[in-house]
A and B are shown apart, each in its own frame.
Chain A
Amino acid sequence: MFLDLFYGLREEGVPVTIHEWKTLMHALEEGLHGSSLLRFYHLARGCLIKSETYFDAYDRVFARVFKGVEGAFDDETTEKVLEWLKDPKNFPNLSPEDLAALERLNHDELMRRFLDTLAQQGERHDGGDKWVGTGGKSPFGHGGQHPTGIRVGGPAKSRSAMKVAEERKFKNYRTDMALELRHMRVALRRLRQLTRSGDQTELDLDETIDETCRNAGEIEFVYRAPRRNDVRVLLLMDVGGTMDPYFEPVSQLLSALHEERGLRDFQPYYFHNCIYDSLYSDARMLSRDAIPTGDVLARLDSRWKVVFVGDASMHPAELLEPHGNIDPRRTSPTPGIVWLHRIAKQYDRAVWLNPEDTAYWQADTTRIIRRLFPMFHLSVDGLSEAIHALVGARQ
């Protein structure tokens, strides 16, 4: 049953590992669940789930796996029984014969009798051999000596674990794209190139000693800039038309890049189908958001890394002819291909992420663009390769 929980969670895409499972087992050995399903619910959640975004998945799996487990007796009964079991009386000293005489019941039989006994019993009872209590020979209770008895104990809570799980309070914390986004963030972490730049605040010990020696023992401190990530990313996104079906992965990439605080600088711009004389700072691409492409290129020097996101398939005229922009409101005297050439020339690290399946990269324009920029599929794997092309060693 416990393993059902483990595999159930994994099926739901919750990253649970054996390491965490062993932690839970260890916690159970320590008795930290206190024989209460509700406390087990919280204990298992603390050990297995490491982000509130997975709490909802946990609730669903927990409710499925443990359905019916606690149905046998309600909370009120439990509380009453626990009240009887407080302050256990001392053991009666049972002889081995007595112990052997206690019948060894199987679990179902025991459970049935337990519920029967409970139904008949009205008050606390200690030291006997039938009623639920402490220090006796009855199979039910604790501190007793029945070999196969049911242990009833541990503080109870007023709410039941099933109710908590079925409430699914954490539904709002969950995002179905969380896993995808997490993968992207992990991939983006490698988008870093550590260089020494900025304020010189770190003591360079070796240089200081050298300088001090050269200075005949008069201390000469030498400072250097600390290492920091120097990656600047210019993101150019194709929006609208054939890109509409890919809204999800593209917006995920955008939000992952926005949240990647390690980057030195990050600027996103939008275009439609191909780069022409203007880029847009907003996805709606209104005239007031237009920025001349030339200005962007002049402002962002060659240290920037360029990431295109687009399907790269368009009518050849849109790429190769002057006035190729299919948006009639915009003029585009310079053909798109010229702009792409300028970008490729200015930025030696630029990649193109294509959300379309690689099988469809057959369009003429796709092939032309692939000659200019290395193209990768917009997936977690493709993103990793693209990042390698941006900051990795050159092949």
Chain B
Amino acid sequence: MTKNDFLRFQGTPGYIASGPLVDGVNCSIALERPLLLKGEPGTGKTVLARHVAEGLGMPLLTWHIKSTSKAMDGLYVYDTVQRLNDSRFGSGHVADIRSYIKPGPLGRAFAADERVVLLIDEIDKADLEFPNDLLRELDEMRFTIVETNEEIVAKHRPVVMVTSNNEKELPDAFLRRCIFHYIEFPDVELMRKIIHVHHPNLDAKVLDQVLIKFYWLREQSDLRKKPSTSELIDWISALLRAGVSYDQLEAHIPFVGTLLKKEQDVDALNRYDSKDGRYPKRWEDLGPRYNQ
């Protein structure tokens, strides 16, 4: 029999996750390994962690990585400047070094009284060696505060989720310890469900037009940056607020600025427009991939 005594994530009403993604999340929870998420920008890598936390009823701790982030910052920061300052003016508990040690997101996740979801967001932004510096901490879930010689051991192993935008290759040693999931771009069916979550009252005919235009845009090979799911949702919001009629939507792509973010792409589309380029109106106008 399978062991079912671990937590299971089933998706939440606000986040439509594909079956394999749910399995990936559960696999990482069951094996207590970090889940490494990659995928096109805007496919919901970061949002997933929030919904996993919500679905499992755990608090979420987020560690946003910047190019200057160091592995140490995630564990704790020793605020020497504050301590020096306090010693100068005789305020604070200068004698107690512990009041100047501020735990970072990882440190707080370890010290928490309940199991938490820890999101390490955009790990590829940091230095190449950054993931390697975290190996021991993530493996053994413990670290030592050098200043006090105090060892922090995780009371509960946090559910660790790591996102990467592929700006850098991650070290092999780090990859070996992760469960990897690549979030594919949603197909039309999944996209309908996703849109339904955000715009439940959208007319079915309008939705079809929106999707036809959107997937057609994505098929254009000379596009520098393809529009993503989050941009599609913004676009629909813009269409609804402006009250664009069905006919307008059928013939054109209004508010293209919400979908295309590169000047060249917008120019290319405008040129297409001025040359009386035709936009697809039916699914049959798109390639065979959409007409199975």
Contacts and interface: CB of A to CB of B under 8 A. Distances in A.
Interface of A: 15, 17, 19-20, 23, 26-27, 30-32, 34, 39, 42-43, 45-47, 49-52, 55, 154, 157, 169, 182, 185-186, 189, 203, 205, 208, 212, 217-219, 221, 261-262
A42 B23 contact: yes
A39 B2 CA distance: 14
B246 interface: no
Contact of B176 (A17, A189, A262): A17
Contact of B85 (A27, A55, A219): A219
Given A30-B2, A34-B2, A55 B182 contact: yes
Contact of A23 (B31, B128, B172, B182): B31
Contacts of A185: 169
Nearest to B176: A19
Contact of B169 (A27, A52, A182, A205): A182
19 contacts: A17-B176, A26-B31, A27-B30, A30-B3, A31-B1, A31-B2, A32-B2, A32-B27, A32-B30, A39-B23, A42-B20, A46-B28, A47-B180, A50-B180, A157-B19, A169-B184, A185-B169, A219-B85, A262-B128
A26 to B, nearest CB: 6
A185 B88 CA distance: 49
B213 interface: no
Nearest to A30: B30
A32 B81 CA distance: 49
Interface string B72-90: 0000000011001100100
B81 A221 contact: yes
B33 interface: yes
B115 interface: no
B156 to A, nearest CB: 18
A212 B84 contact: yes
Interface of B: 1-3, 6, 19-20, 23-24, 26-28, 30-31, 33, 36, 38, 80-81, 84-85, 88, 127-128, 167-170, 172, 175-182, 184
Given A15-B172, A185-B169, A262-B128, A218 B88 contact: yes
B84 A208 contact: yes
A163 B168 CA distance: 32
Given A20-B176, A34-B2, A52 B23 contact: no
A189 B128 contact: yes
Contact of A47 (B6, B81, B179): B179
Contacts of A39: 19-20, 23
Contacts of B23: 32, 39, 42-43, 46
Nearest to B25: A46
A50 B36 contact: yes
A176 B172 CA distance: 19
Contact of B27 (A47, A52, A205, A219): A47
A20 B180 CA distance: 11
Contacts of B31: 23, 26-27, 30, 32
A120 B27 CA distance: 37
Nearest to B128: A189
A15 B177 CA distance: 13
